[in-house]
A and B are shown apart, each in its own frame.
Chain A
Amino acid sequence: GQQVMQIPQYQHVQEGEDFTTYCNSSTTLSNIQWYKQRPGGHPVFLIQLVKSGEVKKQKRLTFQFGEAKKNSSLHITATQTTDVGTYFCAGHSGTSYGKLTFGQGTILTVHP
């Protein structure tokens, strides 16, 4: 079945440093979504990418979808302590109607 791998599993940064997490799928995706989960909280939708090569920005966050629609990345510029949490990618494939496959998540810690 479809697998979505996410790296790194953990990332510790100093406040102000950049952060990137990468997501790779074993199959071509119809779209990919990114979620953020604060400690003790629930996943919250950040963004969805649909088109091959698509790049979207939300303030300090930049999301990319690969040309082959099998990989994606999330980059945070100049991290802040409010960025702490786990970032998940999740992919829909064309054959997984109604189902979403999540990566294992990257746990981001930001030291002030």
Chain B
Amino acid sequence: NAGVTQTPKFQVLKTGQSMTLQCAQDMNHEYMSWYRQDPGMGLRLIHYSVGAGITDQGEVPNGYNVSRSTTEDFPLRLLSAAPSQTSVYFCATEQGSGNTIYFGEGSWLTVV
């Protein structure tokens, strides 16, 4: 899935630390999103962007910030990590609403 690149793949944080999950795409897609995946809860939308300079909240935005200064990049910032943010995070891109979504390979985050 070379089109969507997420880094880091694994990260352990201490409670209260901040960090940024990076997401980059080379497909020139308009839409980018961040999801978190927890056991038995499917994928839940954190934040999304419909284009550079435009972001909006998803289902579970609290504790996370995003920005979209370029079409290619959509970083997700954890302001003050909490154990409840232990999860697998997926970045996704989409050419336009209703089209195929392409997921990155995921970032496994543990907050202790």
- By the criterion CB–CB under 8 Å, are B103 and A43 in contact? yes
Interface size class of B (residues with CB under 8 A): 20 to 34
- By the criterion CB–CB under 8 Å, are A33 and B97 in contact? no
* B47-81 CB contacts (< 8 Å) to partner A: 48, 50, 56, 58-59
CA distance A12 to B48 in the complex (A): 35
The reply on B41 being an interface residue by CB < 8 A is: yes
- By the criterion CB–CB under 8 Å, are B100 and A97 in contact? no
CA distance A33 to B56 in the complex (A): 22
Interface size class of A (residues with CB under 8 A): 20 to 34
Shortest distance between the CB of B105 and any CB in chain A (Å): 5
The 8 Å CB contact of B97, one of A1, A6, A92, A101, is: A92
- By the criterion CB–CB under 8 Å, are A42 and B44 in contact? no
- By the criterion CB–CB under 8 Å, are B98 and A43 in contact? no
Shortest distance between the CB of B13 and any CB in chain A (Å): 21
- By the criterion CB–CB under 8 Å, are B102 and A97 in contact? no
- By the criterion CB–CB under 8 Å, are B102 and A45 in contact? yes
Shortest distance between the CB of A89 and any CB in chain B (Å): 9
- By the criterion CB–CB under 8 Å, are A42 and B42 in contact? no
The 8 Å CB contact of A99, one of B41, B48, B90, B103, is: B48
The 8 Å CB contact of B43, one of A41, A48, A102, is: A102
Q: Beyond A102-B35, A102-B44: 15 further Cβ-contacts under 8 Å? A: A33-B100, A33-B101, A41-B105, A42-B1, A42-B103, A42-B104, A42-B105, A44-B103, A98-B48, A99-B45, A100-B33, A100-B101, A101-B45, A101-B59, A104-B42
- The 6 tightest CB contacts between A and B, nearest first, are A104-B42, A42-B103, A102-B42, A102-B43, A98-B50, A45-B100
Q: Which residues of B contact A (CB under 8 A)?
A: 1, 31, 33, 35, 40-45, 48, 50, 56, 58-59, 90, 94, 97-106
